[in-house]
């Protein structure tokens, strides 16, 4: 999209005349290739052992980035709502602006309205993933096409929702190797969307840097547990568990190549967790803290022996340990987890405000996610220390093909 076209998109937008237009008018001559200017696969320079990983991720393709890619260490999840009176045109204009801005940001170039493109210039494996909620379908007049799973999850016994992070019409998942890249992309995309969408909340999260001493070792959450060991395989026979339209199943209208995203903010009580000894901690999960190995095994990849008993005849892996309860009872009860830790400033009189921004991808959350969550809500030792405080379900749009805007098939 050139500058004139972008200006037209914003100007003719609902409630036109907001910050976006002003910013376009003031913008620099930024449409040329940015300082990075490299193609999607060019390796980062000066990154030692990381040189093999591309410093930018491709934006265009059948799927959006940020789903099956190795999660980057920093993330922001931004919930936005469409304005009152939004129509299909509003949705189209918004996705047109975001398509252009995200493509530039992911290539380490500032969007057209960027007055500080230098903040975008360090290639940081930025990915921005756009997902839509039920309200998007309603505004676009597409209720009849809305997949039945794109609705709030059923209530679970353990839920204690707070009002700060409601379901929204849209979700941006922004991830990168650098917190600067995340902050900058978030700011540009939220400001650039005005007045076509308004930010409601932001959840920030982090993981171990990928340069960590033990590369291969998955994410450790703030309970110290190795988290993310058992996951569906990606890029092959198990794709139907994740991508809509894969595995021989029909995709909902306009979503072939997309997926669903469940986001649940789960508070973790580090203060009461601190009172538990090492053995108790391992018992609660069914795996060793040090290695992530099942209590019946030696290494992380060992298959848990659920029948093993100790000298007193008790199961080594407790039937209500988290791992045991989360295991699939049917082959389709599997999800791709990509959680992030949060560690926010505690309130007055509190010592910690920490937890997990739990994120999972699956083709159908009702079929795949809900049975697991139901079992965990009924019995899971981890519930002693964890509390879900928000929940949302979104449809991740398919990737944008050459010359196409995100959501093109859905809004056609």
Of 199 and 373, the one with the shorter C-beta distance to ligand HEM is 373
* Active-site residue identified among 101, 169, 177, 227: 227
Residue 227 known to be catalytic? yes
Of 20 and 339, the one with the shorter C-beta distance to ligand HEM is 339
Site for ligand HEM contains 186 (CB under 6 A): no
Site for ligand HEM contains 391 (CB under 6 A): no
Site for ligand HEM contains 377 (CB under 6 A): no
Of 110 and 339, the one with the shorter C-beta distance to ligand HEM is 339
Footprint of ligand HEM on 99-138 (CB under 6 A): none
Site for ligand HEM contains 269 (CB under 6 A): no
Site for ligand HEM contains 221 (CB under 6 A): yes
Options 386, 407, 409, 410; binder of ligand HEM; rule CB under 6 A: 386
- Determine the interface stretch with ligand HEM among 26-34, 135-143, 221-229, 345-353 (rule: CB under 6 A): 221-229
- Determine the interface stretch with ligand HEM among 23-31, 97-105, 204-212, 224-232 (rule: CB under 6 A): 224-232
Site for ligand HEM contains 372 (CB under 6 A): yes
Of 74 and 223, the one with the shorter C-beta distance to ligand HEM is 223
Site for ligand HEM contains 268 (CB under 6 A): yes
Of 122 and 376, the one with the shorter C-beta distance to ligand HEM is 376
- Determine the interface stretch with ligand HEM among 126-134, 141-149, 153-161, 222-230 (rule: CB under 6 A): 222-230
Footprint of ligand HEM on 309-348 (CB under 6 A): 322-323, 326-327, 335
Of 112 and 285, the one with the shorter C-beta distance to ligand HEM is 285
| Nearest alpha-carbon partner for 27 in 242, 221, 191 | 191
Count of residues engaged in binding ligand HEM, rule: CB under 6 A: 26
Name the packing angle between helices 88-106 and 179-193 (round to 10°).
150
- List interacting residues with ligand HEM (CB under 6 A): 221, 223, 225-230, 264, 266, 268, 285, 287, 322-323, 326-327, 335, 356, 358, 369, 372-373, 376, 382, 386
Q: Which residues are catalytic?
A: 227
């Amino acid at each position: 999209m050139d500058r004139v076209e972008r200006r037209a998109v914003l100007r003719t937008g609902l409630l036109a005349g907001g910050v976006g237009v002003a910013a376009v008018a003031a913008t620099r001559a930024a449409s040329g290739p940015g300082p990075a200017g490299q193609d999607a696969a060019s390796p980062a320079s000066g990154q030692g052992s990381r040189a093999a990983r591309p410093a930018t991720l491709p934006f265009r393709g059948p799927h959006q980035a940020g789903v099956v890619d190795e999660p980057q260490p920093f993330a922001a999840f931004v919930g936005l709502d469409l304005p009152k009176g939004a129509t299909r045109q509003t949705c189209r204009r918004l996705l047109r602006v975001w398509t252009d801005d995200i493509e530039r940001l992911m290539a380490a170039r500032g969007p057209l309205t960027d007055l500080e493109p230098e903040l975008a210039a360090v290639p940081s494996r930025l990915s921005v993933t756009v997902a839509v909620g039920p309200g998007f379908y309603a505004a676009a007049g597409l209720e009849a096409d809305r997949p039945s799973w794109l609705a709030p999850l059923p209530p679970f016994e353990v839920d204690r929702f707070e009002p700060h992070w409601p379901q929204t019409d849209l979700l941006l998942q922004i991830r990168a190797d650098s917190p600067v890249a995340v902050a900058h992309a978030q700011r540009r995309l939220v400001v650039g969307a005005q007045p076509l969408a308004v930010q409601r909340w932001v959840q920030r999260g982090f993981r171990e840097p990928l340069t960590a001493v033990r590369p291969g070792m998955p994410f450790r959450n703030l309970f110290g547990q190795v988290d993310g060991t058992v996951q569906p395989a990606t890029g092959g026979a198990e794709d139907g568990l994740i991508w809509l339209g894969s595995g021989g199943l029909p995709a909902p209208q306009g979503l072939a190549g997309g997926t669903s995203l469940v986001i649940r903010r789960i508070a973790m009580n580090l203060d009461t967790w601190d009172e538990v000894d090492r053995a108790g901690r391992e018992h609660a999960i069914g795996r060793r803290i040090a290695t992530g190995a099942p209590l019946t095994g030696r290494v992380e990849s060992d298959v848990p022996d659920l029948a093993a008993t100790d000298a007193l005849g008790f199961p080594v892996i407790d039937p209500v340990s988290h791992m045991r309860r989360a295991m699939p009872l049917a082959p389709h009860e599997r999800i791709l987890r990509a959680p992030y830790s949060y560690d926010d400033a505690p309130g007055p009189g509190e010592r910690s405000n920490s937890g997990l921004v739990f994120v999972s991808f699956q083709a159908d959350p009702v079929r795949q996610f809900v049975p697991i969550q139901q079992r965990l809500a009924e019995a899971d030792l981890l519930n002693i220390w964890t509390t879900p405080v928000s929940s949302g379900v979104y449809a991740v749009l398919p990737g944008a093909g050459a010359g196409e805007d995100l959501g093109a098939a859905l809004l056609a």
